[in-house]
Structure 1
């Protein structure tokens, strides 16, 4: 199984599956059915994409330090990317889960400002819906 991270937003985002980017938007671990399910059960937005590098974005004390540090870098880069697409007052949602678990009940919710959060204070375990507001 693979940990997939999905974003939901109100604007279309171009697919970016370049291998040299820290964060890419495209289809990696999931298929269309998984994205439909995460949209139906987790998001409130019309557009859903999988976001990836080598693994999903998860930040928790149960992860090894290297993977957690990589997730933090990916999250910061994702917020920079999404900030360029969103207008003031808009938002995007992030949800990470194991592929096939998109319909399961979420375990937590969190709302953050896209440009003003302390990455070292965030806990984002799998199955946590995070709303980033601009």
Structure 2
């Protein structure tokens, strides 16, 4: 089983080539999920029309309750890069949503929800566990 992180947004994003040998920290596209999983995460978790999975091997979880310290530190780097990427695509007042869960659990009840200002948060002061919907507002 794999932990997958999904983003939902109101804008269409260019897809990353998952077959390339790229060492990018964040890959946006459909590398781990299949159509059914994306439909479920959109239906049960997101409020936006476009859904992508984002990762380079493992999802984003920043919570020592849900992950090791090493995974949390890697997730902080990934989330920081994701926010930089999304900042280029979002207009003022728009948002993107982030949701991480195990593949196949996209329709499960979520554990939590929070809203964060895209360009105004301390990565060391947030906690994002699995099955938590996070809305980043620009």
TM, length-normalised to structure 2: 0.94
Q: Secondary structure in 2 aligned to 1:111?
A: strand
Runs of 5+ consecutive residues of structure 2 not aligned to the other structure: none
**Aligned Cα root-mean-square deviation (Å):** 0.9
Q: Which residue of 1 aligns with 2:30?
A: 27
What number of residue pairs does the alignment pair up?
134
Q: Secondary structure in 2 aligned to 1:36?
A: helix
How far did 1:28 drift?
A: 2.1
- Superposed structure 1 runs of 4+ greater than 6 Å apart: none
Q: Could you tell me how far apart the structure 2 residues matched to 1:79 and 1:53 are?
A: 15
User: Residue 72 of structure 1 is aligned with which of 68, 71, 76?
Assistant: 76
Q: Secondary structure in 2 aligned to 1:53?
A: coil
How far did 1:54 drift?
A: 1.3
Q: Which residue of 2 aligns with 1:130?
A: 134
TM, length-normalised to structure 1: 0.97
Q: Which residue of 2 aligns with 1:40?
A: 43
Greater shift after overlay, 10-19 or 115-124? Answer: 10-19
